[in-house]
């Protein structure tokens, strides 16, 4: 299938799970958190169909983690 012909935010359970699993794999030992975030981001995309929302959501998630790490000195979250 030619991917540009698929509408942004088109729902496919298989695609949601594949992308969420790849997102989880990218987050190493914190794969479980990556999987949860990946599922949330994917389902959000299916609902709102705006890539910019997901970019902001990921940026805010990373900023919150950054603030937490700097405040608590739990550097292990920055592997």
In this prediction, residues 11-15 reach a mean pLDDT of: 88
Is the distance from CB of 3 to CB of 26 less than 8 angstroms?
A: no
pLDDT at 10: 83
In this prediction, residues 14-23 reach a mean pLDDT of: 93
| pTM for this model (two decimals) | 0.81
75 contact partners, CB below 8 Å, separation of at least 6: 69
Q: Nearest to residue 37, comparing CAs of 52, 19, 51, 14?
A: 19
Burial 5-21 (b: 16+ CB within 10 A, else e): eeeeeeeeeeebeebbe
Evaluate if residue 31 carries a pLDDT over 80: yes
Is the distance from CB of 38 to CB of 25 less than 8 angstroms?
A: no
* Residue with tokens 């790849």, as numbered in its chain: 22
């Amino acid at each position: 299938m030619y991917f540009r012909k698929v509408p942004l935010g088109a729902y496919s359970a298989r695609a949601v799970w594949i992308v969420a699993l790849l997102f989880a794999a990218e987050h190493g030992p914190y794969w479980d958190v990556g999987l949860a975030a990946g599922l949330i981001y994917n389902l959000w995309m299916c609902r709102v169909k705006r890539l910019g929302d997901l970019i902001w959501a990921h940026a805010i998630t990373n900023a919150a983690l950054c603030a937490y790490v700097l405040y608590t000195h739990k550097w292990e979250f920055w592997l």
